[in-house]
């Protein structure tokens, strides 16, 4: 597979896994058994004729399970991306130090700064995912 196919496959997979989080539950239409009668303002209802109100449908216990999976999935992707980025930085830095040992100190400093920036962005992304999970519940 070429690179574009892999990216497209990853995008489709991400969309498929996160689609429940974007879905909105449609309200069930109320179907009362008898038409509701409205009383005039100030008038009392006759005994035995209470106004009919539609009952709310009970929510299933696992109905939103996939929605809560989105934050965990996002956090996992963040960690994988950060690990890949830091691994590439470390690999390139070690290779550069092996080729030019006289500038190893400068390369090491730049590598540490870049890795720290990636860690900061990773930490921010994890906080966003965790806050999304907390605020959903």
pLDDT digits (tens, 9 = 90+) for 22-45: 665 544 555 555 555 555 555 555
Q: What is the pLDDT of residue 129?
A: 84
Q: Identify the DSSP state of 90.
A: H
DSSP H or E segment with residue 110: helix 104-136
| 82: pLDDT strictly greater than 90 | yes
pLDDT of residue 62: 61
Residue 33: DSSP 8-state:
S
pLDDT per position as a tens digit, 123-136: 998 898 888 778 87
Determine contact, residues 129/73, Cβ cutoff 8 Å.
no
Ramachandran bin of 75, using left for φ above 0, alpha for ψ from -120 to 50, beta for the remaining angles: alpha
> What is the percentage of the chain residues whose pLDDT exceeds 70?
62
- Arithmetic mean of pLDDT over the chain: 77
Burial of 71 (0-12, 13-18, 19+ CB in 10 A): buried
> 63: how many CB neighbours lie within 10 A of its CB?
10
CB 89 within 8 A of CB 119: no
Asked whether the beta carbons of 133 and 68 are under 8 A apart, the reply is yes
Specify the pTM. Answer: 0.53
Q: What is the pLDDT of residue 88?
A: 95
Contact 44, 20 (CB under 8 A): no
């Amino acid at each position: 597979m070429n690179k574009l196919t892999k990216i497209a496959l990853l995008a489709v997979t991400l969309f498929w896994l996160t689609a429940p989080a974007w879905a909105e539950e449609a309200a069930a239409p109320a179907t009362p058994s008898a038409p509701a009668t409205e009383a005039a303002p100030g008038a009392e209802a006759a005994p035995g004729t209470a106004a009919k109100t539609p009952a709310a449908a009970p929510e299933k216990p696992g109905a939103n399970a996939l929605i809560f999976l989105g934050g965990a999935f996002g956090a996992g992707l963040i960690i994988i991306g950060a690990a890949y980025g830091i691994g590439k930085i470390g690999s390139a830095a070690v290779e550069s130090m092996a080729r030019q040992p006289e500038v190893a100190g400068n390369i090491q400093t730049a590598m540490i700064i870049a890795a720290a920036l990636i860690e900061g962005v990773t930490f921010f992304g994890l906080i966003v995912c965790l806050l999304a999970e907390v605020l959903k519940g």
